[in-house]
């Protein structure tokens, strides 16, 4: 068992079983032993790979997306460009480089990185040191100064802790983490049912909720409505709310059991986009999508960008760009184009953001 696993067992022995939400919060965010706190988890040598780490095209296209959104906002200066959970800073670095073709946009930028991990914040700092744009770091959205904003969050929502409820004896009970007969961490359920949950489901079904995600979407929607701007949220997950246990742990690019080594493996859950959209709408914001990541990237020009890069490259490099495009936008197995979704949130005073259909058209 990992050091954090022992710590969690000690807490359970002292205070009783903890919710899955609390477990996930510790596993990822414990100040000393949490997964993101002391390591760089990305890439071939790490535990998982994300879209910006697969290809520079991902961040570049998002940089140009942001420039176009900015123009639709009336080109405000300054404009906050805020990224949540920026990992290695690769997306932002690629976005700022691509934005060089719109110098007035670059000149207006005030970049904010919202990051909990000091280790990753330091890596981001290195990545952006010579980018020629002022960058600040913060722990929450409130710390970014008021004013119009463009917000990016790639694979951020899947890292927020979820609650799980289990259908047992015709009632929902919260799933807990306890110490099993063998002395290891094991799942259990709360003795007290949750009568306020209306959903009906077969025995053994799991229902998930992400309170931190709801808080994030509501706060984001409220800020954009009040101060103007748009956000792009990309993650893996489902468009419609459903049942099922989606908690998963990854270590060295392989799935492992979520309870086995807290703090040593990445722990995520599928994003319920319908639920996230409800919170942004409740704050008064317009919500676009979700649409498959592949459709989004094609609509904002990944094919053109691939061709442009491939034409200037050696045959091997050209093939790499094409393979990266397929991995990001393809909809087959082991490709991200269908499983990952893109959703935009904006104030109601602008046309639909690039890549997204106008809301009225989407509903027909």
Residues found near ligand SAH in the complex (CB under 6 A)? 36, 42, 50, 52-53, 84-87, 91, 114-117, 120, 154-156, 159
**Cα dihedral sign for 113, 341, 347, 160?**
negative
Helix axes 302-311, 56-72, angle to 10 degrees: 130
Backbone angles phi, psi at 154, to 5 degrees: -105, 125
> Whole-number minimum distance, CB 230 to ligand SAH, in Å?
18
Length of the chain: 364
> Whole-number minimum distance, CB 139 to ligand SAH, in Å?
7
SS3 call for 126 = helix
DSSP 322: H
Our CA dihedral for 111, 87, 120, 107, rounded to 10 degrees, sits at: -20
Paired sense of beta strands 163-168 and 206-209, if any: antiparallel
Of all residues in the shown chain, the one whose CB is closest to ligand SAH is 85
Backbone angles phi, psi at 37, to 5 degrees: -75, -40
- Compare residues 159 and 286 and give the one whose CB is closer to ligand SAH: 159
- Compare residues 9 and 223 and give the one whose CB is closer to ligand SAH: 223
DSSP 353: P
- Compare residues 49 and 171 and give the one whose CB is closer to ligand SAH: 49
Query: Which of 356-363's residues contact partners 24+ apart within 8 Å by CB, and which partners?
Result: 356/288, 356/289, 356/291, 356/296, 356/299, 357/288, 359/286, 359/287, 359/288, 362/288, 362/289
- Compare residues 114 and 287 and give the one whose CB is closer to ligand SAH: 114
DSSP 170: T
Q: Which residues 6+ apart lie within 8 Å of 327 measured at CB?
A: 54, 55, 334, 335, 336
> Whole-number minimum distance, CB 63 to ligand SAH, in Å?
14
Write down the residue that tokens 């477990």 correspond to: 23
- Compare residues 117 and 246 and give the one whose CB is closer to ligand SAH: 117
- Compare residues 185 and 328 and give the one whose CB is closer to ligand SAH: 328
Longest dimension (CA), the chain: 64
> Whole-number minimum distance, CB 86 to ligand SAH, in Å?
5
> Whole-number minimum distance, CB 308 to ligand SAH, in Å?
23
> Whole-number minimum distance, CB 238 to ligand SAH, in Å?
19
- Compare residues 86 and 258 and give the one whose CB is closer to ligand SAH: 86
Q: How far apart are CA 197 and CA 157, in angstroms?
A: 23
- Compare residues 247 and 286 and give the one whose CB is closer to ligand SAH: 247
Read off the tokens for 358: 């106008």
> Whole-number minimum distance, CB 336 to ligand SAH, in Å?
11
- Compare residues 19 and 72 and give the one whose CB is closer to ligand SAH: 19
> Whole-number minimum distance, CB 61 to ligand SAH, in Å?
14
> Whole-number minimum distance, CB 267 to ligand SAH, in Å?
11
């Amino acid at each position: 068992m990992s050091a954090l696993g022992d710590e969690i067992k000690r807490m359970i022995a002292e205070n009783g079983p903890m919710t899955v939400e609390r477990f996930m919060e510790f596993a990822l965010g414990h100040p000393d032993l949490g997964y993101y706190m002391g390591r760089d988890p990305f890439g071939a040598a790490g535990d998982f790979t994300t879209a910006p780490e697969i290809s520079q095209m991902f961040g570049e296209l998002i940089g140009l997306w942001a420039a176009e959104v900015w123009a639709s906002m009336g080109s405000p200066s300054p404009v906050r460009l805020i990224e949540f959970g920026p990992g290695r800073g690769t997306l932002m670095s690629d976005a700022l480089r691509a934005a060089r073709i719109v110098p007035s946009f670059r000149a207006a930028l005030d970049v904010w990185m919202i990051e909990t991990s000091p280790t990753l914040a330091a890596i981001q700092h290195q990545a952006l040191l010579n980018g020629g744009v002022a960058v600040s770091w913060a722990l929450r959205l409130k710390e970014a100064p008021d004013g119009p904003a463009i917000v990016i969050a790639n694979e951020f929502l899947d890292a927020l802790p979820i609650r799980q409820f289990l259908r047992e004896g015709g009632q929902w009970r919260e799933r807990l983490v306890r110490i099993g007969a063998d002395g290891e961490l094991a799942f259990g359920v709360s003795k007290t049912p949750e009568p306020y949950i209306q959903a009906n489901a077969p025995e053994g079904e799991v229902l998930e909720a992400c309170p931190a995600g709801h808080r994030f979407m509501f706060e984001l929607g409220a800020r954009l409505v009040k101060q103007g701007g748009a956000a792009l949220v990309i993650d893996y997950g489902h468009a419609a709310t459903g049942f099922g246990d989606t908690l998963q742990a990854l270590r060295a690019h392989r799935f492992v059991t979520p309870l086995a080594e807290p703090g040593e493996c990445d722990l995520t859950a599928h994003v319920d986009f319908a639920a996230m959209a409800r919170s942004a709408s409740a704050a008064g914001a317009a919500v676009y999508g979700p649409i498959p990541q592949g459709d989004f990237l094609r609509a904002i020009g990944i094919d053109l960008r691939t061709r442009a890069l491939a034409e200037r490259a050696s045959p091997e490099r050209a093939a790499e760009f094409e393979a990266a495009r397929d991995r990001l936008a393809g909809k087959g197995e082991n490709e991200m184009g269908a499983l990952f979704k893109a959703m935009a949130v904006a104030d109601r005073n602008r046309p639909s953001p690039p890549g997204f259909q106008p809301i009225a058209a989407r509903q027909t």
